[in-house]
Protein backbone atom coordinates (compact mmCIF):
# COMPACT_ATOMS: atom_id res chain seq x y z
CA UNK A 1 0.00 0.00 0.00
CA UNK A 2 2.90 2.35 0.74
CA UNK A 3 4.35 1.74 -2.72
CA UNK A 4 0.92 2.26 -4.27
CA UNK A 5 0.52 5.61 -2.50
CA UNK A 6 3.94 6.68 -3.78
CA UNK A 7 2.99 5.57 -7.31
CA UNK A 8 -0.25 7.59 -7.15
CA UNK A 9 1.65 10.71 -6.06
CA UNK A 10 4.28 10.14 -8.76
CA UNK A 11 1.54 9.87 -11.39
CA UNK A 12 -0.85 12.63 -10.26
CA UNK A 13 1.49 14.90 -8.32
CA UNK A 14 -0.90 15.51 -5.44
CA UNK A 15 -3.48 13.45 -3.59
CA UNK A 16 -6.43 15.38 -2.19
CA UNK A 17 -8.85 12.62 -1.20
CA UNK A 18 -8.81 8.95 -0.30
CA UNK A 19 -11.85 6.71 0.02
CA UNK A 20 -11.14 3.58 2.05
CA UNK A 21 -13.87 1.07 1.30
CA UNK A 22 -12.64 -2.30 2.50
CA UNK A 23 -15.24 -4.89 3.31
CA UNK A 24 -16.14 -8.53 3.15
CA UNK A 25 -18.95 -10.24 5.01
CA UNK A 26 -19.09 -13.22 7.31
CA UNK A 27 -22.13 -14.66 9.06
CA UNK A 28 -21.74 -16.69 12.23
CA UNK A 29 -22.20 -16.47 15.97
CA UNK A 30 -19.21 -15.95 18.24
CA UNK A 31 -19.74 -19.47 19.54
CA UNK A 32 -19.54 -21.06 16.08
CA UNK A 33 -16.95 -18.76 14.51
CA UNK A 34 -13.36 -19.87 14.20
CA UNK A 35 -10.54 -17.48 15.14
CA UNK A 36 -9.36 -17.50 11.52
CA UNK A 37 -12.78 -16.30 10.32
CA UNK A 38 -12.82 -13.37 12.72
CA UNK A 39 -9.19 -12.52 11.94
CA UNK A 40 -9.94 -12.51 8.19
CA UNK A 41 -12.76 -10.00 8.63
CA UNK A 42 -10.61 -7.77 10.84
CA UNK A 43 -7.63 -8.04 8.44
CA UNK A 44 -9.67 -6.82 5.48
CA UNK A 45 -12.48 -4.68 6.91
CA UNK A 46 -10.45 -2.87 9.58
CA UNK A 47 -6.79 -3.17 8.60
CA UNK A 48 -7.60 -2.34 4.98
CA UNK A 49 -8.87 1.05 6.15
CA UNK A 50 -5.89 1.55 8.46
CA UNK A 51 -3.40 0.65 5.73
CA UNK A 52 -5.00 3.00 3.20
CA UNK A 53 -5.16 5.83 5.71
CA UNK A 54 -1.58 5.40 6.92
CA UNK A 55 -0.19 5.11 3.40
CA UNK A 56 -1.91 8.22 2.07
CA UNK A 57 -2.07 10.46 5.15
CA UNK A 58 1.35 12.11 4.66
CA UNK A 59 0.37 12.94 1.07
CA UNK A 60 -3.01 14.30 2.14
CA UNK A 61 -1.36 16.54 4.73
CA UNK A 62 1.14 17.73 2.11
CA UNK A 63 -1.68 18.58 -0.31
CA UNK A 64 -2.89 21.36 1.99
CA UNK A 65 -6.53 20.36 1.57
CA UNK A 66 -6.83 16.61 2.09
CA UNK A 67 -9.81 14.50 3.00
CA UNK A 68 -9.93 10.93 4.34
CA UNK A 69 -13.27 9.18 3.81
CA UNK A 70 -13.50 5.83 5.58
CA UNK A 71 -16.45 3.59 4.84
CA UNK A 72 -17.81 1.81 7.90
CA UNK A 73 -21.36 0.44 7.85
CA UNK A 74 -24.65 0.70 9.61
CA UNK A 75 -23.13 -2.24 11.53
CA UNK A 76 -20.55 0.25 12.82
CA UNK A 77 -23.38 2.00 14.67
CA UNK A 78 -25.60 -0.88 15.75
CA UNK A 79 -24.76 -4.52 16.41
CA UNK A 80 -26.52 -7.35 14.62
CA UNK A 81 -26.58 -10.99 15.82
CA UNK A 82 -24.49 -13.31 13.69
CA UNK A 83 -22.34 -10.39 12.56
CA UNK A 84 -20.01 -10.06 15.54
CA UNK A 85 -16.82 -10.09 13.45
CA UNK A 86 -18.24 -7.62 10.90
CA UNK A 87 -19.69 -5.46 13.69
CA UNK A 88 -16.34 -5.41 15.49
CA UNK A 89 -14.45 -4.43 12.33
CA UNK A 90 -16.89 -1.68 11.38
CA UNK A 91 -17.07 -0.32 14.94
CA UNK A 92 -13.25 -0.29 14.85
CA UNK A 93 -13.32 1.71 11.60
CA UNK A 94 -15.65 4.18 13.29
CA UNK A 95 -13.42 4.58 16.36
CA UNK A 96 -10.26 4.80 14.28
CA UNK A 97 -11.80 7.45 12.03
CA UNK A 98 -13.23 9.53 14.87
CA UNK A 99 -9.86 9.52 16.63
CA UNK A 100 -8.05 10.43 13.40
CA UNK A 101 -10.43 13.36 12.91
CA UNK A 102 -9.64 14.68 16.37
CA UNK A 103 -5.90 14.21 15.81
CA UNK A 104 -6.03 16.20 12.56
CA UNK A 105 -7.87 19.03 14.35
CA UNK A 106 -5.46 19.07 17.31
CA UNK A 107 -2.41 19.03 15.02
CA UNK A 108 -4.05 21.71 12.82
CA UNK A 109 -3.39 19.58 9.75
CA UNK A 110 -5.33 20.58 6.63
CA UNK A 111 -7.10 17.23 6.43
CA UNK A 112 -10.80 16.62 6.91
CA UNK A 113 -11.90 13.19 8.06
CA UNK A 114 -15.28 11.57 7.48
CA UNK A 115 -16.71 8.20 8.49
CA UNK A 116 -19.60 6.93 6.37
CA UNK A 117 -22.13 4.39 7.66
CA UNK A 118 -24.14 3.13 4.68
CA UNK A 119 -26.97 0.67 5.07
CA UNK A 120 -27.68 -2.14 2.63
CA UNK A 121 -26.06 -1.53 -0.75
CA UNK A 122 -26.82 -3.81 -3.71
CA UNK A 123 -23.36 -5.31 -4.14
CA UNK A 124 -22.11 -8.88 -4.13
CA UNK A 125 -20.88 -8.59 -0.51
CA UNK A 126 -23.56 -10.94 0.86
CA UNK A 127 -23.35 -13.36 -2.07
CA UNK A 128 -19.59 -13.61 -1.53
CA UNK A 129 -19.84 -13.90 2.25
CA UNK A 130 -18.43 -16.81 4.15
CA UNK A 131 -20.44 -18.37 6.93
CA UNK A 132 -19.83 -20.41 10.05
CA UNK A 133 -20.24 -24.15 10.03
CA UNK A 134 -23.94 -25.15 10.02
CA UNK A 135 -24.94 -21.78 8.49
CA UNK A 136 -26.49 -21.53 5.04
CA UNK A 137 -24.64 -19.03 2.85
CA UNK A 138 -27.40 -18.91 0.22
CA UNK A 139 -30.13 -18.12 2.75
CA UNK A 140 -27.98 -15.35 4.23
CA UNK A 141 -27.30 -13.87 0.78
CA UNK A 142 -30.95 -14.05 -0.29
CA UNK A 143 -32.15 -12.38 2.90
CA UNK A 144 -29.62 -9.56 2.52
CA UNK A 145 -30.35 -9.04 -1.17
CA UNK A 146 -34.16 -9.08 -0.77
CA UNK A 147 -34.62 -7.33 2.57
CA UNK A 148 -31.58 -5.16 3.28
CA UNK A 149 -29.95 -4.15 -0.02
CA UNK A 150 -32.08 -1.11 -0.74
CA UNK A 151 -29.68 1.18 -2.61
CA UNK A 152 -27.55 0.83 -5.70
CA UNK A 153 -23.80 1.39 -5.51
CA UNK A 154 -24.31 4.44 -7.74
CA UNK A 155 -26.81 5.94 -5.28
CA UNK A 156 -24.41 5.32 -2.41
CA UNK A 157 -21.48 6.83 -4.30
CA UNK A 158 -23.48 9.93 -5.24
CA UNK A 159 -24.62 10.42 -1.64
CA UNK A 160 -21.09 9.98 -0.30
CA UNK A 161 -19.54 12.32 -2.88
CA UNK A 162 -22.26 14.94 -2.27
CA UNK A 163 -21.46 14.75 1.45
CA UNK A 164 -17.76 15.48 1.00
CA UNK A 165 -17.22 19.23 1.10
CA UNK A 166 -15.89 20.75 -2.11
CA UNK A 167 -12.20 21.31 -2.19
CA UNK A 168 -10.73 24.45 -3.79
CA UNK A 169 -9.04 22.38 -6.50
CA UNK A 170 -12.47 20.95 -7.55
CA UNK A 171 -13.84 24.37 -8.59
Q: Which sequence positions are flagged as catalytic?
A: 86
Alpha-carbon distances of 120 from 32, 66, 155, rounded to whole Å: 25, 28, 11
Alpha-carbon distances of 126 from 36, 121, 122, 143, rounded to whole Å: 19, 10, 9, 9
Amino acid sequence: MLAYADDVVAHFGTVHQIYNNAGIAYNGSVEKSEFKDIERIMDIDFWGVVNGTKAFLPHLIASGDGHVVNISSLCGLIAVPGQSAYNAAKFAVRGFTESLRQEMLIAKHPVQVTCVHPGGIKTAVARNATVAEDEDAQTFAEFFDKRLALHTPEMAATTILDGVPSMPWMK
